Chain A
Amino acid sequence: SYELTQPPSVSVSLGQTASITCSGDKLGDKYAAWYQQKPGQSPVMIIYQDAKRPSGIPERFSGSNSGNTATLTISGTQAVDEADYYCQAWDSITYVFGSGTRVTVL
């Protein structure tokens, strides 16, 4: 079965840039989406089709996908960005989610 691997945690200082990676075999040949989940809340899609932002998602969130790695970048990280982040792709049989990354804002 297809797997997506993320680092368990990422720490970032307030106002700095955070990068979260998502690795999978030939992931660059697929389309990646990213979701933000805060404690006790449902996931919210923040990036789709590798790099597109839904309406209402701040511009500080951006995405890229090439080779075996998709990357979510948070520029000028704010305290409200502290959350769990999940990548997701479709492997022609199932939707697959990454293991999740907890972002801590210092």
Chain B
Amino acid sequence: QVQLRESGPGLVKPSETLSLTCTVSGVSVSHYYWSWIRQPPGKGLEWLGLVYYSGATKHNPSLMSRATISIDTSSNQFSLEIASVTAADTAVYYCARGLGTDGYNSHFDFWGQGALVTVSS
């Protein structure tokens, strides 16, 4: 079955770079669209961006170009980096599988368990 698992440091200092990796099993990342979504404590969901197997990406403009998403098909993983983090970036970060960006298939059918990242000195 399809499984996603986020990994990375749980604590990042302000102004530094947040880095997370999503390891996918049960399906090749060389298909579908792979997204990062976050949820600040007690708040709602925010889509951050996606990567396609070709390396093409789409980002949420709200992140002001601070986010970089990449894919490693040989390891069946994809990654997220957010530069110059502040306390506002503290959140649970989820990776998720998307089926497309055509509207009709634009939903997320599999999610990771989430990784809490706290930004604090």
Contact = CB atoms under 8 A, between A and B. Distances in A.
Interface string B72-104: 000000000000000000000010001001111
Contacts of A49: 104, 107
Contact of A89 (B61, B106, B113): B106
A42 B94 CA distance: 8
Interface string A84-106: 00101110111111111000000
B61 A94 contact: yes
Interface of A: 1, 30-31, 33, 35, 42-45, 48-49, 54, 86, 88-90, 92-100
A101 to B, nearest CB: 10
B45 A86 contact: yes
A100 to B, nearest CB: 5
Contacts of A96: 47
A35 B106 CA distance: 13
Nearest to B113: A42
B71 to A, nearest CB: 18
Contacts of B102: 90
Contact of B108 (A45, A93, A99): A45
A97 B107 contact: no
B35 A44 contact: no
Residue of A42, A89, A95 contacting most chain B CB atoms (<10 Å): A95
A-B pairs, 4 with minimum CB distance: A90-B106, A33-B107, A95-B47, A97-B45
B44 interface: yes
Given A42-B112, A42-B113, A94-B61, A48 B47 contact: no
Most buried by A among B37, B44, B61, B102: B44
B44 A86 contact: yes
Contact of A42 (B58, B101, B107, B114): B114
B16 interface: no
B111 interface: yes
A95 B104 contact: no
Contacts of A100: 44-45
Nearest to B94: A42
B46 A48 contact: no
